């Protein structure tokens, strides 16, 4: 089954084709992402109306480009998957309208995908995918969640942030230190040259039981440290390092607790912050020490993309699920309310047809 995936929930337009007849990482026949970062940078954050208009401009050209890359014609598609939420309502509607119109015109099924389920399943697109049950850490610009994945489609929230998401904390801290939007990856790059330990910030909420997070106090600590410092380039690097170490440490401590609570040794990490090198290394060390496994998507599939939507949609379409022809999006959407994947071709991931 060749499934087209469309992602347009925020400031990235993503299009991909996932072919369930192919095995492992080669099943991703093509994927393209167009980032609107330059458009929003001068405003210091995403402007929803500008995001919607840019999706309108970029989606169809990107779709043609992706089909070309896959060596396919639009008539070769067997299904369409699109992000139906959570996200910006106008931006979501662009992807949903194109997806629904295409599916209607081609008389093929279409399904609205939960953006965070897309992130969560992205590591399963790689070779040697983990099988549920496992624990997932979802760390993006809007979410920080620990989820017990009992099966694909059966998600139990173990903990989440009470205020800022990890990516949001990276972005806000970067902004305070004078870096342009979205500063997360740039702050991480600054931290590379920083001296560990010169600035030590709190590991919020690790001194008490529980799996929730809180990152908003951390940015205030960084602000105070930055204001009280000599504000040299070296200090900028050292503060960035101190901040990154605090976030990474906090996430790792809670991940280990979540694995203990769920009696699991498999951790799956997804979402934009999952691209962070130090987080990847720290979680790898922890998993090795436990004799377990940590699975990440390749860094380009950590941030928003159409591949994860094509993949998550393909699993559900293969299980016989699809939506009706209405263009419907859900800007706020609880992942625990998703239906389980009732029928699968194989146990676990269960995606291979003929």
From the CB of 171, what's the least distance to ligand KG4, in Å?
A: 5
DSSP annotation of 8: -
242 binds, among ligand KG4, Zn ion, none (CB under 5 to 8 A by kind): none
Q: Of the two residues 10 and 315, which places its CB atom closer to ligand KG4 in the complex?
A: 10
Q: Of the two residues 78 and 304, which places its CB atom closer to Zn ion in the complex?
A: 304
From the CB of 106, what's the least distance to Zn ion, in Å?
A: 27
Q: What is the 3-state secondary structure (H, E, C) of 178-208?
A: CCCCCCHHHHHHHHHCCCCCCCCCCCCCCCC
| C-alpha–C-alpha distance, residues 141 and 303, integer Å | 9
275 binds, among ligand KG4, Zn ion, none (CB under 5 to 8 A by kind): ligand KG4
Encoded tokens for 241: 């390092």
| Residue at token pair 């790689």 | 126
Q: Of the two residues 85 and 141, which places its CB atom closer to ligand KG4 in the complex?
A: 141
From the CB of 249, what's the least distance to ligand KG4, in Å?
A: 14
| C-alpha–C-alpha distance, residues 96 and 228, integer Å | 48
φ and ψ at 232, to 5 degrees? -80, 170
Cα 283 versus chain centre, distance: 17
What x-and-dash track marks residues 269-308 binding Zn ion by CB under 5 A? -----------------------------------x----
Q: Write out the binding residues for Zn ion, residues 94-153 only, by CB under 5 A.
A: 140
From the CB of 75, what's the least distance to ligand KG4, in Å?
A: 32
Q: Of the two residues 188 and 335, which places its CB atom closer to ligand KG4 in the complex?
A: 188
| C-alpha–C-alpha distance, residues 267 and 285, integer Å | 12
Q: Of the two residues 123 and 272, which places its CB atom closer to ligand KG4 in the complex?
A: 272
Q: Of the two residues 79 and 183, which places its CB atom closer to ligand KG4 in the complex?
A: 183
Helices marked H in the chain:
37-41, 48-70, 89-106, 115-121, 166-176, 184-192, 216-227, 233-262, 277-290, 307-318
Do 44 and 119 meet the contact criterion of CB atoms below 8 Å apart?
no
273 binds, among ligand KG4, Zn ion, none (CB under 5 to 8 A by kind): ligand KG4
From the CB of 142, what's the least distance to ligand KG4, in Å?
A: 5
Do 259 and 269 meet the contact criterion of CB atoms below 8 Å apart?
no
Chain residues in the site for ligand KG4 (CB under 6 A): 10, 140-142, 167-168, 170-171, 182, 184-185, 188, 271-273, 275-276, 303-304
- Applying CB under 5 A, the residues found at the interface with Zn ion are 140, 304
């Amino acid at each position: 089954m060749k499934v087209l995936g469309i992602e347009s929930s925020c400031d990235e337009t993503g299009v991909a084709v996932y072919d369930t007849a192919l095995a492992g990482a080669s099943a991703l026949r093509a994927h393209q992402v167009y980032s609107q970062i330059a458009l929003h940078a001068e405003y210091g954050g995403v402007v929803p109306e500008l995001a919607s208009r840019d999706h309108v401009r970029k989606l169809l050209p990107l779709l043609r480009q992706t089909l070309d890359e896959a060596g396919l014609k639009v008539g070769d598609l067997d299904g369409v998957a699109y992000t139906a939420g959570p996200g910006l309502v106008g931006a979501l509607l662009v992807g949903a309208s194109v997806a629904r119109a295409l599916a209607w015109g081609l008389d093929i099924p279409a399904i609205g995908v939960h953006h965070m389920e897309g992130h969560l399943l992205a590591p399963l697109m790689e070779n040697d995918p983990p099988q549920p049950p496992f624990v997932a850490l979802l760390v993006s610009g809007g979410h920080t969640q620990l989820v017990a994945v009992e099966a694909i489609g059966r998600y139990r929230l173990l903990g989440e942030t009470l205020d800022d998401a990890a990516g949001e904390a990276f972005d806000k801290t970067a902004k305070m230190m004078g870096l342009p939007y979205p500063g997360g990856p740039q702050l991480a790059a600054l931290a590379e040259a920083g001296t560990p330990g010169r600035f030590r910030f709190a590991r919020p909420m690790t001194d008490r039981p529980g799996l929730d997070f809180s990152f908003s106090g951390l940015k205030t600590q960084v602000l105070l440290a930055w204001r009280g410092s000599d504000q040299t380039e070296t200090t900028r690097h050292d503060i960035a390092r101190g901040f990154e170490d605090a976030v990474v440490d906090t996430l790792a401590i809670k991940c280990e607790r979540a694995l203990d609570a769920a009696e699991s040794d498999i951790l799956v990490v997804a979402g934009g912050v999952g691209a962070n090198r130090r987080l990847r290394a720290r979680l790898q060390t922890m998993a090795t020490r436990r004799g377990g496994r940590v699975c990440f998507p390749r860094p380009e599939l950590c941030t928003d993309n159409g591949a994860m939507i094509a993949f998550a949609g393909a699993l559900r379409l293969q299980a016989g699920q699809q939506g009706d022809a209405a263009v419907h999006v859900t800007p706020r959407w609880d992942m625990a309310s998703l239906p389980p994947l009732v029928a699968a071709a194989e146990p676990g991931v269960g995606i291979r047809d003929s």
